[in-house]
Amino acid sequence: MYDYLIVGAGIFGAICARELTDAGRRVLVIDKRDHIAGNIYTECTEGIQVHKYGAHIFHTNNRKVWDYINRFAEFNRYTNSPIANYKGELYSLPFNMYTFNKMWGVITPDEAEEMISRQRAAYIEGLQNSRDTITDSNSSDTNLKTVGISASVTTPITAFIPQNLEEQAISLVGTDIYEKLIKGYTRKQWGRPCNELPASIIRRLPVRLTYDNNYFNARYQGIPMGGYTGMIERILDGIDIRLNTNYLDPKVRKQLDSEAGTVIYTGPIDALFGYRLGNLEYRSLRFEEELLEIPNFQGNAVVNYTDEETPYTRIIEHKWFEFGKDSEGKDIPVTVITREYSHEWKPGEESYYPIGDEKNLNLYEEYRQMADTLPDLYIGGRLGEYKYYDMDTTIEKALELVDRLIQCRFT
Ligand code: FAD
């Protein structure tokens, strides 16, 4: 008999399993897939760790989480510096002085700031002429600050309330950056033009007036050497695991429930209730992987294709997450690339990005309330909570849950 059954061997389930085991509980972990590690699963091809469910770069500002995860993996010094390819023109991301220099030939931060401000002001003025606006100079500055641009790169004369994502983006970074680096990419990602998407999708658009391509700008960043699967294997060391085991198969569930006192479920919350109130919606991804007999395809791990015509959103060249070296430090003569396509999710497909609009959040809340009535069942992780969580937040959430469980049982 187990104290805990953990449904899902992703990072959330694995951390719960480790901590509960270390606290003296008997734990069984199951996963319906034929592998552990959930969506951070990596698989070795020709010495290259391939991120099978999308590129994953660990980054955090949380020292506790960083120290914790370093117990299970040695992280390399990888820093995410994606490149944008717009019809063959290459730009640095996130938007920084390298981007502005390439876009406009400007050299100094003042020149860049001036260019952005001018474009923003012209755009806002054009829109203001064509529709009613709220005039309040104090709320103007606050409004623009809350959407994430430094006050110095704003034109806080008249408040501007963006009505859609296009207006939001241009009011933050100006027309050129929007047209070349945001418009097409966002359309592909969300399957709709920017002027039909809510402004709230882009709350912040980091604009850096420094020559710094470090995308995440986190205090700690890197890739676990030897891949994420090895890291999860070490987290789960010594713990019973059953793969190819679907908790939602009624016979399997009955058997498993009889083997464990408490269940921690990290699968989709709507699936747990047989979708009886309807499906929660996601954006999904399709990956097209190719092994190429050349040593270098694009010279960078991540290249985003920001025009509308290229059907994929980005190409990942996995070997550059580990600097093109195999586990013995030797150069790898071949390469693996993955083209990433974004599409509308249909029931039964892999769920990637929660839609998170009002309709879906309300539905989630209803499922959450149903789940709260079930005894000895805890729900967590990105699917259980219907939230986009980075890995560091997922770890934090798992550690919090275990703390609660241990305290409520034994105090
Ligand atoms: P999952 O990894 O999805 O694990 C859940 C597990 O439960 C799965 O293995 C599933 O098979 C299993 N399961 C579900 N239902 C059942 C069932 N009925 N029976 C048995 N098993 C079941 N985060 C970062 O920090 N950096 C990044 O660069 C980054 N990149 C990302 C890129 C993409 C494309 C996406 C979508 C996410 C990215 N993330 C990134 C977020 C990261 O993937 C999540 O934080 C992490 O995967 C969450 O782990 P989890 O354990 O909650 O979920």
Residue 265 inside a domain? The answer is yes
For tokens 């020709």, the residue is: 46
Cα gap 77→47, rounded to integer Å: 19
251 and 366 belong to one structural domain: yes
163 and 244 belong to one structural domain: no
Domain-terminating residue out of 202, 227, 257 = 202
Residue 134 inside a domain? The answer is yes
Question: HSE of 24 in the Cβ direction (CA atoms, 13 Å)?
Answer: 3
Long-range pairs, 147-154, Cβ under 8 A, ≥24: 147/171, 147/172, 147/202, 147/203, 147/204, 148/172, 148/203, 148/204, 148/205, 148/206, 149/173, 149/204, 149/205, 149/207, 150/207, 152/113, 153/113, 153/116, 153/117, 153/120, 153/207, 153/209, 154/117, 154/120
Active site residue 208: yes
Residue 390 inside a domain? The answer is yes
240 and 104 belong to one structural domain: no
Cα gap 95→23, rounded to integer Å: 46
262 and 386 belong to one structural domain: yes
End-to-end CA distance of the chain: 23
Residue 15 inside a domain? The answer is yes
Nearest-CA residue for atom 27 of ligand 1: 56
Report how far ligand 1's centroid is from the alpha carbon of 38 (Å): 5
Residue 20 inside a domain? The answer is yes
Residue 197 inside a domain? The answer is yes
Question: Exposed, middle or buried, 287 (CB in 10 Å: 0-12/13-18/19+)?
Answer: middle
Residue 322 inside a domain? The answer is no
Q: What is the pLDDT along the chain (411 residues), one digit of tens a residue?
A: 999 999 999 999 999 999 999 999 999 999 999 999 999 999 999 999 999 999 999 999 999 999 999 999 999 999 999 999 999 999 999 999 999 999 999 999 999 999 999 999 999 888 888 775 444 443 333 333 333 334 334 444 457 788 999 999 998 899 999 999 999 999 999 999 999 998 888 877 878 999 999 999 899 999 999 999 999 999 999 999 999 999 999 999 999 999 999 999 999 999 999 999 999 999 999 999 999 999 999 999 999 999 999 999 999 999 999 999 999 999 999 999 999 999 999 888 899 999 988 999 999 999 999 999 999 999 999 999 999 999 999 999 999 999 999 987 543
Report how far ligand 1's centroid is from the alpha carbon of 255 (Å): 25
pLDDT tens digit string along 85-140? 999 999 999 999 999 999 999 999 999 999 999 999 999 888 888 775 444 443 33
Question: HSE of 406 in the Cβ direction (CA atoms, 13 Å)?
Answer: 17
Can you give the residue range of the structural domain that contains 375? 1-36+236-277+356-411
Distances (CA, A) of 260 to 31, 217, 238, 241: 15, 43, 18, 14
248 and 394 belong to one structural domain: yes
Residue 279 forms beta bridges with which residues? none
114 and 180 belong to one structural domain: yes
- pTM of the complete model: 0.92
The active-site residue, picked from 185, 208, 265, 305, is 208
Active site residue 388: yes
147 and 21 belong to one structural domain: no
What CATH number did the domain enclosing 16 receive?
Answer: 3.40.50.720
Active site residue 390: yes
Cα gap 320→53, rounded to integer Å: 17
Mutate to test the pocket of ligand 1, among 15, 16, 62, 266 (most ligand atoms within 8 A of CB): 266
263 and 364 belong to one structural domain: yes
Domain-terminating residue out of 151, 178, 202 = 202
Report how far ligand 1's centroid is from the alpha carbon of 11 (Å): 7
Q: Please give the tally of structural domains in the chain.
A: 2
The active-site residue, picked from 63, 290, 365, 388, is 388
273 and 163 belong to one structural domain: no
Active site residue 2: no
168 and 265 belong to one structural domain: no
